[in-house]
C-alpha cells in the first residue's frame, strides 16, 4: 500500500482509469441546491496560509498571502450518515469502498485477530488496516453499522463519492481557499478556529487524539472515534468541526508550491494532479505526530481513497 502523510490518511495503490480521466477539469460553479443547514458567507480578502514554526513547510502551508473569495454558502457541519443515506436511497449509488470491497480502518477499532489477518498494511503506518467489507454503512467492517451514528460525519467516502453526492444535492466541494476562509471564522492568522490556545481554560474545542499516539487514546474530549456533528462550539461563522472530527475533501488538486505564484482571486488550485486536498484534521491527529488540525494545515489523498477518518461538507455559489 502507498501512503501520503500516512499518519493522517492512507491511500489506495491502484491503476484507476477513472482517476486518470479526472486529472484535468476546472471548477464548475453551482447555485441550485437547497441552502438549508448552510451558512452564507460574504467572502472578501483574508490572509491564507501560515509561516508558523509548528507548520509543515513541505506541505506548502506558506507563504502567508492575501486571497480573495466571492460570497458562497457552506454546510455548517460535515455531511452526516443520515444525509448520505438519503443520497444512497435516492440514487442507488455505489461508493468506491464498496466497489473495491475494502477500506482503511484504524487498528484500535478492530479485534486483534482482524489485525493479524490483514494481508496488506501501510508500511510506514501499520495502524491503518485494509478491512474487507468496510464502507460508509459498515465503518469497522461487516458486523458494524451506522444505525447509532446517524448524526456522525459519513466516512469511508472517496473524493469521487463526495463529488457525486454534491452533484446530487445541487452543490459542489469547496475550493481550498473557500474552506480556509470559512474555517477561520473571521479570525486573522489564528492557529485554530477559536484562537491560538488549543484547550482554552481547560475546555476541549475539537475532537482530536489525547494520550500517546497510536496506542493510547484517553479520549479526554469525550470521543475515541467520530463525534456527532456539532458536539463542540461553532466558529465565528457558525461552522462546526473545522478542526478535528474528520478530514474534509476539497476541490483542488494538491501541490506544495503551485499557490506561491498562483492566482489570488478565487484560486481553484493546479489544473491537474494526482491527489486532492483534504483539510481540517481528524480524531486521529495529535500534537506529537500530526498537528494538522490547525486551520492552515493541509495534506492530500488520491481521489479514489477512503478511510475511517475522512468525510466532507458542501458549498454552493450565491
Q: Which residue in the block uniquely carries the three cell numbers 448520505?
A: 84
List the grid coordinates of 302: 488520491
pLDDT value at residue 123: 67
In a domain, 29, yes or no: no
Q: What are phi and psi of 153, to 5 degrees?
A: -65, 140
In a domain, 99, yes or no: no
In a domain, 246, yes or no: yes
Q: What is the CATH number of the domain that holds 79?
A: 3.90.1580.10
In a domain, 243, yes or no: yes
pTM for the predicted model, two decimal places: 0.94
Which sign does the torsion angle of CA 283, 286, 291, 295 carry? positive
Residues 153 and 139 sit within 8 Å (Cβ to Cβ): no
CA distance 171 to 173: 7
pLDDT value at residue 120: 65
In a domain, 17, yes or no: no
CA distance 182 to 140: 31
In a domain, 23, yes or no: no
In a domain, 36, yes or no: no
Domain ranges, residue 158: 43-91+153-317
- What is the DSSP track for 76-142? SSPPBHHHHHHHHHHH----HHHHHTEEEEEGGGS-HHHHHH-S--BTTBTTEEEEET-BTTBTTST
The predicted-structure confidence for 225-259, as pLDDT tens digits, reads as follows 999 999 999 999 999 999 999 999 999 999 999 99
Over range 38-62, report the average pLDDT.
95
In the chain, where does DSSP find H-type helix? 17-21, 81-91, 96-100, 112-117, 159-169, 176-184
In a domain, 117, yes or no: no
Residues 1 and 122 sit within 8 Å (Cβ to Cβ): yes
| pLDDT-derived band at 1, boundaries 50, 70, 90 | very low
Total domains present in the chain? 1
Determine which of 25-29, 68-72, 312-316 has the lowest per-residue pLDDT on average.
Answer: 25-29
Amino acid at each position: 500500500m502507498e501512503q501520503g502523510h500516512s499518519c493522517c490518511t492512507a491511500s489506495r495503490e491502484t491503476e484507476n482509469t477513472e482517476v486518470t480521466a479526472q486529472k484535468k477539469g476546472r471548477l464548475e460553479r453551482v447555485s441550485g441546491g437547497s441552502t438549508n443547514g448552510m451558512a452564507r458567507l460574504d467572502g472578501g480578502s483574508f490572509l491564507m496560509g501560515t509561516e508558523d514554526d509548528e507548520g509543515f513547510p513541505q506541505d506548502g502551508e506558506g507563504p502567508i498571502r492575501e486571497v480573495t473569495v466571492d460570497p458562497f454558502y457552506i454546510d455548517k457541519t460535515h455531511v452526516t450518515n443520515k444525509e448520505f443515506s438519503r443520497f444512497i436511497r435516492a440514487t442507488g449509488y455505489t461508493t468506491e469502498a464498496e466497489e473495491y470491497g475494502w477500506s482503511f480502518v484504524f487498528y484500535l477499532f478492530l479485534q486483534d485477530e482482524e489485525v493479524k489477518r490483514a494481508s496488506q498494511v501501510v508500511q510506514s503506518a501499520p495502524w491503518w488496516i485494509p478491512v474487507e467489507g468496510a464502507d460508509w454503512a459498515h465503518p469497522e467492517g461487516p458486523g458494524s453499522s451506522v444505525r447509532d451514528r446517524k448524526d456522525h460525519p459519513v466516512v469511508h467516502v472517496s473524493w469521487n463519492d463526495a463529488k457525486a453526492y454534491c452533484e446530487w444535492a445541487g452543490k459542489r466541494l469547496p475550493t481550498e481557499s473557500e474552506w480556509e476562509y470559512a474555517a477561520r471564522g473571521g479570525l486573522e492568522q489564528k492557529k485554530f478556529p477559536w484562537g491560538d490556545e488549543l484547550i482554552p481554560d481547560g475546555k476541549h474545542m475539537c475532537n482530536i487524539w489525547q494520550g500517546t499516539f497510536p496506542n493510547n487514546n484517553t479520549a479526554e474530549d469525550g470521543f475515541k472515534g467520530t463525534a456527532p456533528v456539532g458536539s463542540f462550539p461553532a466558529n465565528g461563522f457558525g461552522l462546526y468541526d473545522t478542526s478535528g472530527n474528520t478530514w474534509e475533501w476539497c476541490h483542488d488538486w494538491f501541490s506544495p508550491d503551485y499557490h506561491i505564484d498562483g492566482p489570488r482571486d478565487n484560486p481553484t488550485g493546479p489544473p491537474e494532479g494526482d491527489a486532492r486536498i483534504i483539510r481540517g484534521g481528524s480524531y486521529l491527529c495529535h500534537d506529537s505526530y500530526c498537528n494538522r488540525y490547525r486551520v492552515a494545515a493541509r495534506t492530500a489523498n488520491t481521489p479514489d481513497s477512503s478511510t475511517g477518518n475522512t468525510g466532507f461538507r458542501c458549498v454552493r455559489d450565491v
